[in-house]
Every structure is written in structure tokens, then in C-alpha cells.
Structure 1
Amino acid sequence: MQFFNSRMRILGIIPFLFFLFFSSSVLAQEITILDSDSGIPVVNIAIYNKDKSKTTISDQNGKCDLEVFERNEKITFKHISYEVYTTTKAQIGKKGNRVYLSLKAEELQEVVMSVSKWEQQKKHVPQKIESIDAQSISIATPQTSADLLQTSGKVFVQKSQLGGGSPMIRGFATNRLLLSVDGVRMNNAIFRGGNIQNVISIDPFTVKNTEVIFGPGSVIYGSDAIGGVMNFFTKNPHFSFTDSLAVSGRVDYRFASANNENTVHADLNLGKQKWASYTSFTYNNFDDLVMGKHGPDSYLRSNFAARRNGTDVLLENGDSRKQVTSGYDQFNFLQKVTYRPNTTWKYDLGLHYSETSDFSRYDRLIRPDNSGDGLRSAEWFYGPQKWFMGNLQITKKGKNKFYDGVKLTTAYQHFEESRNERGFQDDERFTSQEKVDALSVNLDFENKKIGDLRLYYGAEYIFNKVHSQGSQKNIVSNETIDAASRYPDGATWQTFAGYINGEYQLKPNFTLLSGARYSQVWVDAQFDKTFYPFPFDEADLITGAFTGSLGFSWFPKADLQVTLNGSTGFRAPNIDDIGKIFDSEPGSVVVPNPELEPEYAYNAEMGIRKNFKDKLVLKGAAYYTYLVDALVRRDFTFNGESEIMFHGELSNVQAIQNAAKAYVYGFEFGLDAYFNDNWAVSSNLTLTEGTEEDDDGMDSPARHAAPTFADVHLIWKNQKVKADFFLNYNGEINYADLALSERSKAYIYASDSDGNPYSPSWYTLNFRSQYQISNALKATMSLENITNQRYRTYSSGIVAPGTNLILSLGYSF
């Protein structure tokens, strides 16, 4: 009996012990805190509840015990370098007792990739580089990557139509700027001197960060990088740091009232310890854009061309602020796969695809006819703009006799575009269709073995082949015949180059950066004389270019930085330069010119940055660029004739020629003030002046020298909310300072008191905000152009949006 009682007492204790064990296991919850990007444990993370009555801190292994907290109590994780994160013990338990923290944007900006293709401390780089991080992109909710650049306040963007965006940097644009995606050159052999819209093929939802190099970048990037380089780095797949499959993703919806935009986006990440996958889809639907109420009446769209009963007629626009036929659709897809078998090797595969619907070139649809009462064109639209890129990158890290890191990047790109135009009450529609196949191979090395000298060097090969066809269709009979193509069909452009770049830390506060590159470029084009009696059969150009850079970054005091940099850049003639046949403007036609040489730029810049006790940061830069043998459009002769018939109209003959010099200089200022943890002010101001000089010594304003532009932001933020009230400003360009090529486009400009075209100054007041509803749910609301100004950005065909309400909702899982 005693044994039985003893046994019962023991059995009675077991549930009590089990309860104690279970309770302690729930309360004593050990977790690991990791960096979301690298998976490395994060030390010294402060963890506390709402009133900070309970606190703990992560150890050297990123671990800590949450025993003091209740199961469903709100817990905050905070670190000076990471974004604040709030959750509960229960939610952490569901995620395997792991917490992933993201670096703050300002911490990410300290390292840049663009100058050497390897990570470098930004403070060591003498060139001006601006980073646009994922957090800035998230709150700005840009419609396209062109808008992404514009919202930075440091890049000017021109738009000929809603489906467009042509950046201007330091007086240069289009084929004098270089676009790069994940380290792959996007510029191809038919990038033109006129405004281009290829940047909209990059989906802003997939952009992790963007780095903009101001000034020549030819040492690393070769031809075209005269005015600057825009590097877009897309999001990478995330690995799992446990044995199980990590699944995460995001769904977004965005609406904008000015063009009735509806955008949906979804992405999915699958990760194991050695491989990871990232998949993204985005669909945009943009309706016709509505301009503002207050501004020049000449910007209004009073009528538009339409086809009625087999003939073209002018219809009155019921809403003259609505820019009829400016809307379009776009689809973007991205698939990235990363395989990392060990800490030495990494393999990255990326597949990018973008396609638009047809979209109108709005500035051509509002051109008046010779009488001034009607319209010149009944139709002028681009066919679907398509871009595919497949790139494979293999990276090896580790000590070697010749390198500490090596990276092989191979890529294939396919571009498609077409132009379709038909004159008012003309039954003939002229179409040109272009396709470009582009192959590239880059081999880049990093070597930091020689004391304080860190070397970067490599080689590059690029091959482009252009396919071009022309046709002419009678829209009444549906009969289609061949017509002259825009470019010589089958033309090729290729380049081979080698470079070396060195970073030498002469003293702890003084870094010297220098580099050199030699590029060889081959152009081959065969001209078809079926439609035009060309006085030549082919263009066979072989050109070489040597470029270099030298600069330093100096900290005379810990809170003062001075930079000085000199560099050269070049642009070799491409297929668009030597072989284009195109109606460049009313009454003029561009003809081929196979006798061209590269243009060269010589640049000097100085920068200064002063930090006043982390409360006020002032930044300034001044630069001067001299361009020689500039490739510009000038009057020409074709078989001895200064005028020829083109599309049924007698047209002045022009061609791209090495016929000018250009001088561009300017100043850039920035200010960041931090009043406390909640309030801050940020401001930027850019002034640019540019002049072109022809062979006769005659000066004229440079076409791509943007007007003075500035922004001022008043920012308030706390743990969950960020609000930004800001002003955007553009200065005036009067008639005397308007480029000669722009003066002939009076229909896109306002008229001054003398009746001459000019670009008026304008400003907008704007507000944007973001609310972190939970760790998973984020809402963004913006109200742009609050005072409903009617304005046209300089050189743009389409008028900017009026008051625009933008709503966005994103859910992460």
C-alpha cells in the first residue's frame, strides 16, 4: 500500500514537471538574429518591449533569450545600422526562432559597385556617385525606371511620350550616356542621338538599388559613357540559412489618378542553403495622361486625328487636358537563380523580359501642318518595344597569384522596336522594324595583394548585329510593298577592350584612384541601293580609343572631404550614326555618312563634402567637360544634292558629322539637415550651361543642357510612418538660350512676348507618405502637383501630369 501511495505521488508530480518544462520552454525562447542579405549573425541588437521595462541584447553569435517577454507581447529590435523591426515571440517561433534584419539605406550607400565592378568604399572614390536605394524607390513608387531616376532630384528626364523617358546628365543624353543592368551594358548599335526610351524596359519593382556615375566612365564601360553611367542592380535571390526551404514573396498594387494607372506586381523567393530562386511579374496599364489646369493654353490638346468612314478627320477633344492616345500597357518578367556550392564559387543566372503595347509618339501627333490649322500626322506610333536579356555570371573568391576575385559575365540580349507613321489624309503608312542581337563577354579581376595598392583589371568583348526592314502599306487596299529600311540590314558593330584600374591608399586619409583603357571598335555595313542610289557600297570603319582617369579623395579633417578627378571619355560611331535614313524633323531627312571618327570628352571635376556634427551635411561639385569631334547633325549633300524627295516631300539633306566642339560646365549642390530622430530636410540644386561650336566658329546652345532644376524635401518619420512634403523646381530657358534644333519645334513650347518659343519655369508642390501597417503590410499615398500646374519639362513632347493621387499597397510573406 505504501508503495502504491509513493507511486501515485510520483505520477502526480510528472504532469507538474511537464507543465514547468513546457512553460519554461515557451518563456525561455532562444533566437538567432541574422542579416537578411548575408545571413551573418548580428551582434549587439537591443531588444525591448513597448515601455522598455523589459530589455535584452544579442551576443557575439547573434543569439539571445526572450524569456522575459510574454508570448504575444510586442517586441522591438533596434540597431544603429539596421531598420527597426517589431514582432512577437509567437511570430518568431513560427519562423524557426530566427529574425532577419535589413541594413538601413544609408549604410548600404557606403559601398558602391559602379567604379570598378567590385565593392569599394564610397568615401575612397573621387567621382560623384549617387545611390538610389530600395527604400527610396519604395516610398517614391515610380511608374517606370525613368521616373525612378527623376525622383532622385539629381537626374533630369525628358519625355517625348508617356511611354518614354530620356535621362540627361551634365549636358549629355541618349547615346552619350550608358545604361547597365546587373553589370551588362544595355546600349546597343542603334542607340540614337535623339531621345530614347529603353530605360523603361527595366522594372522598378525589381530594382534593389541604382548607382549613377556623373561624368565620363569610359575606363570601365568603354564607348558611350561620356556624360555618365546609370547602373541598375536588380534584386538577388535569398538563401535559406536552415536545412528547410525558405519561401517568401511580395504582392503589390498601385493606382495613379492622372493616367488611371493600374499596376499589379508579384514576386516569389525560394531558398535553400546552396541555391535560391527569385521570380517577378509586373503588369502596367496606363490610360491617356491628363495635364494640369494652370499654365499655357498652347499646351492643351484641342483636337485629334481619327479615322471615320474611310477618311481622316479632325475631332474636337471633349477634355482638352486629356492627351489622347498617350496610354499604353507593359509587361515585365524576371527570373534569377543563384547557386553557391561553397564560399569560393557562385553562379548567377538572370532572365529579363519586357514588352510594351503599341504606344504613340505624342510630340509627332501634335505637330501642325503647313497651314497651321490642321495636323501633319494621322498616325505616329512605336510598335511593341521588346527586350530580352539572359546573363550568366560566375564569381570566384579566394587567394590566387594573380587575383583575389574573378568574375566572368556573359550575356545575350535581343531588342525589337518599330516606327509607324502616316500623314493626315494619306493612305500610305510607312513602317520600319528593327531587331538587334547583342552578345557580350566580360572578364573582371580584383587584386589587393600589393601592400596598400588595390588593382582591378579586365577585358570586354561585345558584338551587335542589326536587322532592319522597311515597308509601305496602303490602309485602303491593304497592299504592302517593300520600302527603304531605317538601317543597313545585317550591319555589325563590335568592340574589344582591356582596362586596368588602381586604388592606392597613400595615407589613411588620402586615396588615389587611377585607370586606363584601350578599346578597338569595328563597324561593317552593306548599303542596299534598291531605293536610294548611294554613292558608296559599304561602311567599313576601324577605330581605336585610349581613355584614362586620375583623381583623389582627401579627408583633411574627419568631417571634411575634398575630391578632385580628371577623366576622358569617348563614343565610337555606331550603326545609327553612319547608316540611318530617317525623317529627323519636318522638311529634313538624315542620310548615311560612312566617314566618321570617334568623339572624345575631356572632363575635370572637384567636389567637397562637409559634415557638421552629423546634424548638417553640405555637398558641392563643379565640373567642366570639353567635347571634340562631336558627332552632330548638320546640313549635307547626297549625290551633290542638298534636297531630295523623302516620303513624297522635298526635304533638306542632313547627316551625322564630326562637325562640332562642345563645352559643358556646371555646379551641383546638396544639403541634408537632421533636426532630431524625426525631422530632416534634404535639398539638391543643379545648374548646367552648354555651348556647341561648329567648324565656322559659330556658337549655339547645347541641346541637352538641362535648365536649372532643384528640389527641397521636408521629411518626418518614426518607426511606422514616413512623410515627405517637397517642392520641385525647373528654371526657364529663353529663346536666345534654346538650342537651334529646339527652336524648330515651336509646337511643344510656349511663346514669349515676341512670339518666339521658350521653355517657361515651373514648380510643383508634392506630398508622399508611407505607413508600415505591420511587418507584412505597407501602404503608400502620394499627392503630386498639388496646385495642378500645367507644365512641360524642357524638350518634352508630352505635358506633365496635373494633380496626381498615387495609392500603393504591398503585402510581404
Structure 2
Amino acid sequence: MKFSVNMDKVVFLLFFLFLNTVTAQEIKVLDYYSKEPIVNVAVYNQDKSKAALSDLEGVCDISVFSENERITFKHLSYEVHKATKNQLLRNGAEVFLVLRPEQLDEVVMSISKWEQQKKDIPHKIVALNARAIAFTNPQTSADLLQNSGKVFVQKSQLGGGSPMIRGFATNRLLLTVDGVRMNNAIFRGGNLQNVISIDPFNIEKTEVIFGPGSVIYGSDALGGVMNFYTKRAIFSHKDSLEVSGNSNLRYASANNERTAHFDINLGKKKWAFLTGVSYNYFDDLKMGSHGPDSYKRENYVTTENGLDVLTTNSDPRKQVSTGYDQWNFMQKITHKPNNNWGLDMGLFYSETSDYSRYDRLIRPDKEGSGLRSAEWYYGPQKWFMGNVQLNKKGKGKFYDGLKITTAYQYFEESRNDRGFQDAILYSTKEMVHAFSTNVDFENKKIGDLRLYYGASYVLNKVGSDGSQKDITTNSISDAPSRYPDGSSWQTAAAYLNGEYKAKPNFSLLSGLRYSHVWINADFDKTFYPFPFDDANLSTGALTGSIGFSWFPRANLQVTLNGSTGFRSPNIDDVGKVFDSEPGSVVVPNPDLEPEYAYNMELGIQKNYNDKVVFKGAAFYTYLVDALVRRDYLFNGESQIEYNGELSTVQAMQNAAKAYVYGFEFGLEAFLTENISLVSNLTLTEGIEEEEDGTDSPSRHVPPTFGDVHFVFKNQNLKTDFFLNFNGEIANDDLATSEQAKTYMYAEDANGLPYSPSWYTLNLRTQYRLNKGFAITCSLENMTNQLYRSYSSGIASPGTNLILGVDYSF
């Protein structure tokens, strides 16, 4: 009897092992980044005598293959994957495929806020997916944009990055995160660094629209729109809880960077939770060796026993006081009660330490023998966003898709500066509370016509205060604020956008938007006798776009697009008081109007037998009623005292026109199955015309820039050897405001400031050991060039070794 019982157990165990073996013959095929199942993946052996196909759940049966037989997984939209049956079973019976970057049917969301085929859109859009971002391994989201080779980025300090697109920058470009407008009422015309608040580890995809995007996004979208879509919480495909996640470590030698990131996803059938945390530490940045000596940091200010001292820098290539650190946090919650409804919630928080504005710290004093500032630093830059999006699919009476997005954002920043051997530290602190609601509809009911329409409302409340501290006595007293405290900026808008598929090879897109903007600001006359009590602006703007995408042949695409954009004055334009440069002070001007842009763009794409793809675009933008900073009279005076210094008065004014034109080229050549060449080139020119008929080069027009990449990749290895380059901007081609910043530029043969050309040679490699581990190694600026990008106060890194480790589970 005892023997019989044991036999029963053995039989049961053998039966269990048999069932387990049979079950293990099923392989699930998933998207590497989204973890979603992939349907219709062809699975076959070397001579294609055995084959299988993945079903709606991404599952396929591989029982027909032998254990050591090499199996190929192939899908039109994904990279080919090969492995033996034994390897597949050892790896948990899951296969992860990576999207091919060159898909012509790539889907984008930026033009209408709904999914559209990129090939049907006449606008130029650059899309960067999570795979490309992980390979370039950027330190910040500003570097992410710069690594694309199509966006120029200016830096005033290490904790910064101000994108320039088609001759526009700062508050003439729009930032969005998950469809929520990030631009606020105090986005300024000077260089911005808000983009660094967005954690590149949390980004699923970035889409950049080139040219005006006001029809969908309203004010500020003059030169382009940068849309950041963050990673989504992933549901389980089983009845049980599924746990997955990623961890990343990175080190960079040029600024002794130490970065750590961790995220974890908990997925059920109807609920999913994603939590991500990142920490970055950056030391002072070290510049290269071969370049202008004027870029070197020969000395800096230290304070000893309350006395400022000019100290010789023991290593002039080390840019003292550029280091900082930063925390980022993200929490996503997704609920899908059924196939028609979905609810997405997101919480984001970012905070930096204090970080110096390096370009202000290297300004010489009036005599030219020392430095003007003992301290000039930003206080912690804080950003919080909570957003909720309700999605509905199905056959509504007037729509097939509905999105309702509501968000609250909090921004905090401060500025602190003290002159050399001055006892007073001047500080201003700004807080913005931003509320927004968007309602967007998609309608596919009218044959070949798709309609997209909606409405939005945004409210910004601005808090601002000023103080001054005597560092010898630690006494603190009130001082002027940067903006009118309690001021508000709000806008309401409605839009209609249409896509008409006239023929299979011809698509027409057109849209209209009306926006209205209100500003209310009350001025405090405690410190300045303003000749006005308040600023109350009420302005409206109608913008539109029309364009087509045409394939005269299957391998040739032609696009043409005309669009208008506008930017309404904000609180920064209307009510700011600050020192723009040594000896100048900007004061409020309540009599401002919106500026308008008119844009034309022609694009062409030619595919040569799927071996070479050429892309080109030409554009022209005309800006009227341009808001520019010009000399001004304050109570009849051309000069006033500001922070203890007699300064020339300036104010924002609708005092100029401008035009920008240029060409953008791209080339992709697939030399072999594993080797490709990718190159980008951008040429831009721009002129500002004053009311008196004089003109000058536009400040935010970058030099000619581009890159060339030689890429090798196979299933586990990708290597990129590439060249980055910038052209020269001669003194005559520098904007007038830039010519005055002699401390930031090199000297030409005549002793005049100019921006030299430069290049760097770089190598980047990523090796994936298995589905869990990947190692990234980069060597940037291999020849140790010493250079500054145009308009940047900080010199770029010298030779920089970057090591990264990524583990996914």
C-alpha cells in the first residue's frame, strides 16, 4: 500500500511536469518598451520548413521546433530577432521585439492630439522614441533634444538648456508634457532652463513640431512645439499581478556625474501603477584643451571672513561653481474599467539644488581687471504637476474619441546676486500656480474626412517677492519684486482641425483656432514710482493652417504647409523689473500687443529602393509686431538707479519685424543589413527690422549645425561613431546684444567678438547581454576640443567618458 501511494505521487509529478513542458512550448511576443503583445509575428526556422504566427495576445506555439533549432521572429514594424528554442525557454518564454526606426507608417500625436500617420502630415515632425533616448543616454532633456541633431540648444550654465528651433527660442517655443502646456506666465524672452525639469528616464516618446503650432496649442507656439510623452503604467495580460521595472546607473567623467534611476510597474487586468525615481549629481564641468584661451576660468571669487577675494583657479579648465544636483519623481495610475473608457493619472515632481548662472559669474568688472559678481545663482527650481485624463472610445453622437484633461502645476524659482565686495545679496522669488483644462474630440464619421476639435482654458496666478540681505549682519529687509505680486494670466480657446484623404496618395490638412488672453496686474509703487497703477490687457487672435502631403510616386513624398502663429504678452513682458545686462534695467510696459508669425514650408522625401532616404525642407517665417527689448523712458527719465547702480532704462515693446528662413536636410543610407549612415544639416538666417528702417541679425538664429553618424547594429550590439559640428558666426553676423557680451565669445583677427566653428568626434556603444542587462559606453569629444556653442555662457565638456548600466526585470 505504501508503494502504491508513492507511485501515485510519482505519476502525479510526471503528469505535472508533462503539462508544464507542454505549456512552456508557448512563447509570448511583446513590444520591448510598452510590453504590449505583438500580433501576427512570423516565427520560422532557417529553411522556413516550420512556422508559427503570434495571436491577438502575442502568443505562438513553438512545439514544432527542436530544442537547438535557431528560430527567427519577424514583423514588418520590428527588428528581426533570432534565438534557439532552449534560449527562449530559459528566458521565461517571452520575446521582446524592438520597433524599427524607419517605419513610413509611424504614428504621431502632436498635430491633432490624436494618432495620425506621419506620412499624411505636411508639417515637419521629429520623433524620438524610448529606444533612441536610452541609446544616447542624455544627462537632461535638453541634451535629449540636442542629441537629435535637429534642435540647437544654448546653455548659460550646467543646469540649463534653452532650445532654438528655426530662429525662435524661449517663450516663442512651446513645451508640453503629456498634452499639458508647461509654458507659464513668467516664461521669459531670455534663455530658459525649464526643460531640465523633465526626467529623460521617464520619457516614452518626444515629438518636435517645426514651425508654428498655434492652431492646436495656442499662444507661444511660434517656432515650434516640443511634446514630451511620459511612460505609461502597463496592465497585466494575466489574471495575476505582473511586476516589472528598470534600474539605471550612469557615470560621466567631464562633470563627475553620478546618476541613479529606478522604476517599478505593478499591473493588474484593470489597474496599473508605475513609480519612477531619479537622482542626478553633477560636479563642476571640465572643458576641453584645444581652443580659445579666453574661455578658460582663470580666477573666481571666494569669500573669506566676510571679504570677497579674487582667487586664482588651479585648473583653468574647470568651470568652478557649475555643479548641482536634482531629484525627479513620477507616479502613474491607470484604470481601464472596460474597452471604451480609460482613466490616466500622473504626479510629477522635480527639484534642483541651488545652481550658479555661470555666464554672470564670468562677467568682468568695469575696469576689466576683476569680476563683477561675487555670487549669482538660482535657488532651487521646483516643478510639480498633477494631471488627470479621461479617455472614451466608441460611437458617440458627435465623436468617436473623447479626451478630457485637467492639470495643476506649481513652479518655483528664485534669483540671487551680489556684486563683488558688496555686502548686499539681492533676491527675488517667484511662484506660479497653473490650472488648465482641455476637451478634445476626434470624429471619423464623415467618409474620408476626419475632424478634430476642442476647447481649452488656462489660468496662471503669479506670486513674487523681493528681499535683500546684508551678509555682514545677516539682517534681511524688503526689496522690489521681479513681477507684480498676485498678477494673473488666462486664456480660453476653441479649435477645429481637419484631415481629408482626397486620394490614397494625397492628404489635405487644415485648421482654425481662436484664442483670447487676459492679463491683470497691479503694480506696487513702494520702490518705484510707476506712472501707472495696473496693466489690464484683453487680446484675441485667430490662427490657421493649411497644407498637403502628396505621394506622386510610392517612393517620393512632397509636402507644403502654410500656417500662422501668435504669442500674446505675458506677465514677464508686461510687468518685469530686472537687470538685463550690466548698466541696463528692464521696466514694465502695460501697452503691449500680441506678435504674429506667418510661415511657409516645403518638404520633400525620396526613398531609393529602401537603401537611401533623403529628406529636405525649406521654410520662411515672417514675424510682425515682434516683442523686443528696447530703450525706454521711465517717468521721462532714460536712466534710473537699480540695485545701487545707475542703469539705462529699457522695456519690452512691439518695435520690430523679423524674418527667418532656412533649409534642413537629412540622409539615411542603409549600406548593409547591419551598417547605416545617418546625417543632418540645418542652415538658418534671420534679420530683425527696426521701426526706423535699420536691421540687425536675429539673436536666436543659430549657426549652421549638423552631424554625421556611422552606425553598426545587430541583435545585441549597437555602435555609433559620429561627428558633430557647428559653423562660425562672424562678428558682423552677431546680434547687437551678443556683440556686447565680449566675455562670452572668442576674439577674431580684429579683436572683435565672434563665435568660432567647432567639431567633435564621438563614439557610443550599447551592448545587450540578455533581455535584462544592457551596458552603454560613450567617449565624447575624443580630440578634447575647447568650444562654446553659440550664445552659451558655459564651455562644453572636454573628452568625456560616459558609462551606463541598465537592468530590466
- Equivalent pair of 1:494/1:523 in contact (CA under 8 Å): yes
Of residues 742, 747, 766 in structure 1, which corresponds to 2:762? 766
- For 1:343 and 1:14, the matched residues in 2 are separated by 44
Q: Who is 1:300 aligned against?
A: 296
The C-alpha deviation readout for 1:436-465, integer Å capped at 9, x for no partner, is 000000000000111111000000000000
Kindly tell me: are residues 165 and 541 of structure 1, through their superposed partners in 2, closer, same or farther at Cα, counting changes over 3 Å? same
Query: CA shift at 1:796, angstroms?
Result: 0.2
Structure 2 runs not aligned, ≥5 long: none
Of residues 216, 223, 229 in structure 1, which corresponds to 2:219? 223
- For 2:656 and 2:806, the matched residues in 1 are separated by 51
Which SS does the other structure have where 1:104 is aligned?
Answer: coil
Kindly tell me: are residues 761 and 97 of structure 1, through their superposed partners in 2, closer, same or farther at Cα, counting changes over 3 Å? closer
- For 1:577 and 1:339, the matched residues in 2 are separated by 42
The C-alpha deviation readout for 1:484-530, integer Å capped at 9, x for no partner, is 00000000000000000000011111100000000000000000000
Which SS does the other structure have where 2:672 is aligned?
Answer: coil
Confirm whether residue 43 of structure 1 aligns to residue 40 of structure 2: yes
- For 1:774 and 1:47, the matched residues in 2 are separated by 21
- Equivalent pair of 1:33/1:101 in contact (CA under 8 Å): no
Correspondence list, 1:118-137, <5 A: 118-137=114-133
Letter in 1 for 2:748: D
Kindly tell me: are residues 393 and 559 of structure 1, through their superposed partners in 2, closer, same or farther at Cα, counting changes over 3 Å? same
Of residues 433, 438, 441 in structure 2, which corresponds to 1:445? 441
- Equivalent pair of 1:765/1:785 in contact (CA under 8 Å): yes
- Equivalent pair of 2:343/2:388 in contact (CA under 8 Å): yes
Kindly tell me: are residues 68 and 301 of structure 1, through their superposed partners in 2, closer, same or farther at Cα, counting changes over 3 Å? same
Q: Who is 2:253 aligned against?
A: 257
- For 2:564 and 2:643, the matched residues in 1 are separated by 41
Q: Who is 2:53 aligned against?
A: 58
Of residues 592, 601, 616 in structure 2, which corresponds to 1:620? 616
- Equivalent pair of 1:29/1:66 in contact (CA under 8 Å): no
Q: Which moved more, 1:269-278 or 1:88-97?
A: 88-97
- For 2:566 and 2:9, the matched residues in 1 are separated by 82
- Equivalent pair of 1:85/1:775 in contact (CA under 8 Å): no
Confirm whether residue 600 of structure 1 aligns to residue 596 of structure 2: yes
Q: Who is 2:532 aligned against?
A: 536
- For 1:170 and 1:468, the matched residues in 2 are separated by 33
Which SS does the other structure have where 2:131 is aligned?
Answer: helix
Correspondence list, 1:680-719, <5 A: 680-719=676-715
Q: Who is 2:553 aligned against?
A: 557
Confirm whether residue 492 of structure 1 aligns to residue 495 of structure 2: no
Confirm whether residue 290 of structure 1 aligns to residue 286 of structure 2: yes
- Equivalent pair of 1:447/1:456 in contact (CA under 8 Å): yes
Letter in 1 for 2:200: P
- For 2:376 and 2:10, the matched residues in 1 are separated by 82
TM-score (norm 2): 0.96
- For 2:12 and 2:393, the matched residues in 1 are separated by 52
Of residues 783, 790, 793 in structure 1, which corresponds to 2:786? 790
The C-alpha deviation readout for 1:109-135, integer Å capped at 9, x for no partner, is 710000000000001100100101111
Letter in 2 for 1:578: V
Kindly tell me: are residues 14 and 658 of structure 1, through their superposed partners in 2, closer, same or farther at Cα, counting changes over 3 Å? closer
Kindly tell me: are residues 88 and 179 of structure 1, through their superposed partners in 2, closer, same or farther at Cα, counting changes over 3 Å? same
- For 2:12 and 2:317, the matched residues in 1 are separated by 77
Query: CA shift at 1:77, angstroms?
Result: 3.4
Kindly tell me: are residues 754 and 341 of structure 1, through their superposed partners in 2, closer, same or farther at Cα, counting changes over 3 Å? same
Query: CA shift at 1:309, angstroms?
Result: 1.9
Correspondence list, 1:470-481, <5 A: 470-481=466-477
Query: CA shift at 1:776, angstroms?
Result: 0.3
- Equivalent pair of 2:27/2:62 in contact (CA under 8 Å): no
Q: Which moved more, 1:803-812 or 1:86-95?
A: 86-95
Of residues 238, 245, 248 in structure 1, which corresponds to 2:244? 248
Figure out how many residues of one structure are paired with residues of the other and give that number.
805
- Equivalent pair of 2:355/2:377 in contact (CA under 8 Å): yes
Q: Who is 1:526 aligned against?
A: 522
Q: Who is 1:33 aligned against?
A: 28
- For 1:500 and 1:770, the matched residues in 2 are separated by 44
Q: Who is 1:664 aligned against?
A: 660
- For 2:633 and 2:76, the matched residues in 1 are separated by 66
- For 2:94 and 2:582, the matched residues in 1 are separated by 65
- Equivalent pair of 1:28/1:65 in contact (CA under 8 Å): no
- For 1:721 and 1:735, the matched residues in 2 are separated by 45
Kindly tell me: are residues 58 and 470 of structure 1, through their superposed partners in 2, closer, same or farther at Cα, counting changes over 3 Å? same
Q: Who is 1:634 aligned against?
A: 630
Query: CA shift at 1:87, angstroms?
Result: 6.5
- For 2:523 and 2:172, the matched residues in 1 are separated by 26
- For 2:55 and 2:637, the matched residues in 1 are separated by 80
- Equivalent pair of 1:514/1:548 in contact (CA under 8 Å): yes
Which SS does the other structure have where 1:148 is aligned?
Answer: helix
Kindly tell me: are residues 257 and 364 of structure 1, through their superposed partners in 2, closer, same or farther at Cα, counting changes over 3 Å? same
Correspondence list, 1:304-703, <5 A: 304-703=300-699
Letter in 2 for 1:191: F
- Equivalent pair of 1:703/1:742 in contact (CA under 8 Å): yes
Of residues 63, 74, 81 in structure 1, which corresponds to 2:77? 81
- For 1:109 and 1:207, the matched residues in 2 are separated by 22
- For 2:694 and 2:549, the matched residues in 1 are separated by 39
Q: Who is 1:239 aligned against?
A: 235
- For 2:352 and 2:674, the matched residues in 1 are separated by 41
- For 1:503 and 1:385, the matched residues in 2 are separated by 41
- For 1:191 and 1:41, the matched residues in 2 are separated by 42
- For 1:389 and 1:64, the matched residues in 2 are separated by 42
Letter in 2 for 1:764: T
Q: Who is 1:193 aligned against?
A: 189
Letter in 1 for 2:419: G
The C-alpha deviation readout for 1:190-237, integer Å capped at 9, x for no partner, is 000000000000000011110000000000000000000000000001
Query: CA shift at 1:561, angstroms?
Result: 0.3
Query: CA shift at 1:106, angstroms?
Result: 3.7
Letter in 2 for 1:31: E
- For 1:748 and 1:21, the matched residues in 2 are separated by 74
- For 2:108 and 2:94, the matched residues in 1 are separated by 29
- For 2:793 and 2:27, the matched residues in 1 are separated by 55
Query: CA shift at 1:35, angstroms?
Result: 4.0
- Equivalent pair of 1:405/1:447 in contact (CA under 8 Å): yes
Q: Who is 2:177 aligned against?
A: 181
The C-alpha deviation readout for 1:589-631, integer Å capped at 9, x for no partner, is 0000000000000000100000000000000000000000000
Letter in 2 for 1:46: V
Query: CA shift at 1:67, angstroms?
Result: 2.8
Letter in 2 for 1:799: A
Q: Who is 1:756 aligned against?
A: 752
- For 1:807 and 1:54, the matched residues in 2 are separated by 44
Confirm whether residue 780 of structure 1 aligns to residue 786 of structure 2: no
- Equivalent pair of 2:41/2:74 in contact (CA under 8 Å): no
How much is the aligned-residue C-alpha RMSD, in angstroms?
2.2
Query: CA shift at 1:82, angstroms?
Result: 2.3
The C-alpha deviation readout for 1:534-559, integer Å capped at 9, x for no partner, is 00000000000000000000000000
Letter in 2 for 1:659: A
Which SS does the other structure have where 1:209 is aligned?
Answer: strand
The C-alpha deviation readout for 1:645-688, integer Å capped at 9, x for no partner, is 11111100000000000010000000000011101000000000
Which SS does the other structure have where 1:714 is aligned?
Answer: strand
Query: CA shift at 1:256, angstroms?
Result: 0.3
